[in-house]
Amino acid sequence: MTGTSNETLDNDSITAVLRRVVAENGREHLGAYAFAIACLLTVAMTTAFTAWIMESVINEAFANRRADLIWSICGSIFAAFVIRGFAGYGQAVTLAKIGNNIVASYQRRLFAHLMTLSVGYFNEARSARLSAQINQNINGVRDVLNLTVTSLARDLVTLVSLIGVMFVQDVVLSLIVFTVAPPLLFGLRYLSKRLRSATREAVILNSHVLGAMQETVQGISIVKAFTMEAQLEEKIQSTIDAAERRSNRIARLSERNGPLTESLAGLSVAGVMAYAAFQAIYGGVLPGAFFSFITALLLAYEPAKRLAKLQVQMERAAVNAKMIYEILDMQTHQRDKAGAGELVVREAKIEFRNVNFAYTGSGPVLRNLSFVAEGGKTTALVGPSGAGKSTVITLVPRFYDPADGEILIDGQNIADVTKSSLRHHLAYVSQQPYLFEGTIRDNIRYGRPDATDSEIEDAARLANAHDFILSQPMGYDTPVGENGLTLSGGQRQRLSIARALVRNAPILLLDEATSALDTESEAAVQQALEAAMVGRTVIVIAHRLSTVIKADKIIVMQAGQVVEEGTHESLAQRPSGLYARLNNLQAVPSGRDTLQDL
C-alpha cells in the first residue's frame, strides 16, 4: 500500500473510511447530493409539521369546535403529505443513481487496477475467491455515503425537528423521554465493536464459499472423472457451515439492538403516558399539547431507531469498503521506470545475460542463465521438467522480472522500456489456449483490435482454422462458449495461433503449443505453427524432441542453466550429452526433415 491511503485506512474507525470515500466521490456528485439533501430536509420538515399541527387539530377542532379552521388545517396536512411524497421520491431516485454510478466507477477502477498488477499476484491469489470478494464488497463504498447522507439529512434532522416540537409542547415530558438515551448509546457502542470483526470474517468466509463453488464448476469434468463429488462436498460443506455460523452471529449482533431499543422506548412512552394522564385528570390541561407531543414522539421513533442502527450498519459498510481499498491500494510491481522509452525492434534478437530468478517462497529457478535467440530464427528450449523453460518464456514479456541479470532485445534492456511497447512486439501461444466470451471473430481480433475482417480471415487461413470456422453454425460469428468449451482442443489452439498471427508481431513465444493435443489435432496445429514461424524470432518450448529437429538453435536446460547448445544433428551426436540421452529415449530419427510434431 502507498502513502496517504495506507495511513488513512490504518485507522480502523468509520471516520477514516468515510473521509476517504467523501474525498474520492463527494465533489463529483456534489450537485446531486445537494438536491437529495434538500429533498430529505423537506421530508424532515413536513414530518415535524405533521406533529406540530396536531395541537391545533385537537384543541381547535375537537375542544373549541372551530369549524372555520377545519378546512385550512386539513388542507395544510394534505399538502404536507403530498410534498413529503414527492420529496421522498426525489431523494430515493437521486441517491439510487448516485449509488449506481459509484458502484460502476469503482468497478472500472478495480478492473483497471487489477490489469496493472503482475502475473505473480494472480498466481498467488485465487481468482474465483478474488472475484467473489469484489462482488460482495463493492457496494460498501456506496453504502457508506448513502447511509451518511440519509442519516444526517433525513433521520437526524427529522429527529431534531420532532424533539423541538416535543420541547415546545412539554419540557418535562421531553426530559422523561431522554432518560433512556445514555444506556441506549452505551449498548449500541458495545454491539458495534463486536460486529466489526465478525463482519470482516463473514466476508472472507463467504468469498471462500463462492470461490470454491466457482472452481468446482470450472473443473467439473475433473471432479466427475475422479469421483471427487463426496470429497469436495464435505470440504465445501465445512466452509458453508462456518460461513453460516458467522452470518448467524452477525444477525444476532445486528438485531440485538432491537430488544434494547424497544424496551427503552416502551419505558419512556409509558412514563410519558402516565405523566400526561395525571396532568389531564388533576391539572385540567387541554389534551392538544399532549397529542402533539405524543405524535412527535411516535414519529420520532422510526428515525431514532434508524439512527440507533446506523453505527452497526456503518461498521458493516466500512468493513466492505476497506476490503475494496486494500485491493486498490496494492502497489503495482514492475512499474515502468521513470523516463522509460519505447522498444524499437529491428532484427528482434533476444539475449539473456546472467539471469537469476526465483518465484516468491521458492528456491532459485534460473541460475546465471545466458543465451542468444537470433533475430528471424527459431530457438528451441528443451530439457527435463523443472529446468526453467517456461520461466524463460514468462520473463520475455515481463510477466516477472529477474532478480539479477539482463534481458535484451536488439541491445535494449527490456527493463528500460515500457511494458506496453515491449508486449506490442510479442505474440504468445500457450499450452492451454484461453478463449474469452464472445464470437470466434472477437477472439481472433483480440490479437490486434484494429484488424479488419479480411485480416482476421487471412490469419485464420494461415492458422489452418478457416475451414473448421466456416463449418460452425454461424461461421466467424459463432459464440465460443465459456473458455471455448464448444470447440475441441485443437480448434482452440488454432484460434490462439490465429490470434497470434493477426498481431503480426516480430517475436513469437510458443509454450508447448501441441503437447496436450491428439495426433490429428497436433498435425493441424503444426501446419499452422510452421506458417506462423516464418520470418519471426521464435522461442519455442517442447518436451517432444521431434518438434525441434529443424530449429536453428536448440538450448538444452537443466536446473535453471544452459548445459548444451547447438542444432539437432550436432547435439544428437554427443553420446554423453543430455540431449542425446533424451533423443535416444524418444527414438527420434536424426535425419527427419519435418516439424510435424511441433
Confidence of residue 265 (pLDDT cuts 50, 70, 90): low
Choose one of 279, 294, 328: the last residue of a domain.
328
Burial class for 203, CB neighbours closer than 10 Å (0-12, 13-18, 19+): buried
Looking at 504, 527, 547, the residue that finishes a domain is 504
Whether residues 225 and 287 share a domain: the answer is yes
| Cell numbers that stand for 76 in this block | 395544510
Identify the residue whose cell numbers are 474520492.
24
Query: What are the cell numbers at 74?
Result: 386539513
What is the pLDDT averaged over residues 277-299?
A: 70
Calpha distance 591→525 (Å, rounded): 22
How high does pLDDT run on average in the chain?
A: 79
* Residue 346 sits in the same domain as residue 421: yes
3 state SS for 492-505: HHHHHHHHHHHHCC
Cα 325 to the chain's mean position, in Å?
11
Is the pLDDT higher at 297 or at 404? 404
What is residue 341's DSSP assignment?
B
Higher pLDDT, 464 or 369: 369
Q: Is the pLDDT of residue 260 over 60?
A: yes
Q: Are residues 223 and 103 in the same domain?
A: yes
Taking alpha carbons only, the member of 167, 156, 163, 148 closest to residue 44 is 156
Q: Highest-confidence range of 396-410, 426-440, 480-494, 511-525, by mean pLDDT?
A: 396-410
557 and 586 share one domain: yes
Residue type, 464: N
- In this structure, the answer to whether residues 140 and 183 fall within a common structural domain is yes
| Gap between the Cα atoms of 441 and 431, Å rounded | 21
Q: Does some domain include residue 256?
A: yes
Q: Which amino acid is at 240?
A: I
Confidence class for position 587, pLDDT limits 50, 70, 90:
low
* Interior angle at CA 200, CA 194 and CA 203, nearest 5: 135
Answer yes or no: is pLDDT of 335 > 60: yes
In this structure, the number of other CB atoms found within 10 A of the CB of residue 5 comes to 15
Whether 478 has a pLDDT exceeding 90, the answer reads yes
Quick one: 440 and 375 in the same domain?
no
**CB hemisphere CA count around 348 (13 angstroms):** 22
381 plus 485 within the same structural domain: no
Is residue 100 domain-shared with residue 7, that is, in the same domain?
yes
Is 280 a domain residue?
yes
- Does the residue 257 lie in any domain? yes
**Mean pLDDT, to the nearest integer, of 81-93?**
89
Q: Would you say residue 88 has pLDDT above 80?
A: yes
Domain boundary among 504, 531, 548: 504
In this prediction, residues 198-213 reach a mean pLDDT of 71
In a domain, 515, yes or no: yes
Which CA distances in Å does 377 have to 344, 374, 535? 18, 6, 7
Q: Indicate whether 51 and 22 sit together in one domain.
A: yes
How many structural domains comprise the chain? 3
We report the CATH number of the domain holding residue 23 as: 1.20.1560.10
CA-based end-to-end distance of the chain = 44
pLDDT at 6: 41
Domain that holds residue 196: 3-328
Global pTM?
A: 0.66
DSSP output for 135-199 = HHHTHHHHHHHHHHHIIIIIIIHHHHHHHHHHHHH-HHHHHHHGGGHHHHHHHHHHHHHHHHHHH
343 in a domain, yes or no?
Answer: yes
Flag the least confident range among 8-12, 179-183, 381-385: 8-12
Return the C-alpha torsion angle 515, 519, 524, 529, nearest 10.
Answer: 30
pLDDT at site 517:
62
In-domain check, residue 271: yes
pLDDT exceeds cutoff 60 at 4: no
Residue 508 has pLDDT above 70, yes or no: yes
Q: Starting at the earlier edge strand, list the strands of the sheet with 553-558.
A: 426-429, 507-511, 537-541, 378-382, 553-558, 561-566
Residue 377 domain-assigned (yes or no): yes
Q: Taking the mean position of all CA atoms in its chain, how far away is CA 496? A: 26
pLDDT at res. 212: 74
By CB atoms closer than 10 A (0-12, 13-18, 19+), residue 554 is buried
CATH of the domain at 452: 3.40.50.300
> In terms of domains, do 414 and 464 share one?
no
Residue 366 scores a pLDDT above 80: yes
Q: What mean pLDDT comes out for the span 121-132?
A: 68
Are residues 374 and 460 located together in one domain of the fold? no
Rounded distance between C-alpha atoms, residue 166 and residue 177, angstroms: 10
Q: 430 in a domain, yes or no? A: no
Looking at the fold, whether 381 and 466 belong to one and the same domain comes out as no
Classify residue 484 by its DSSP letter: G
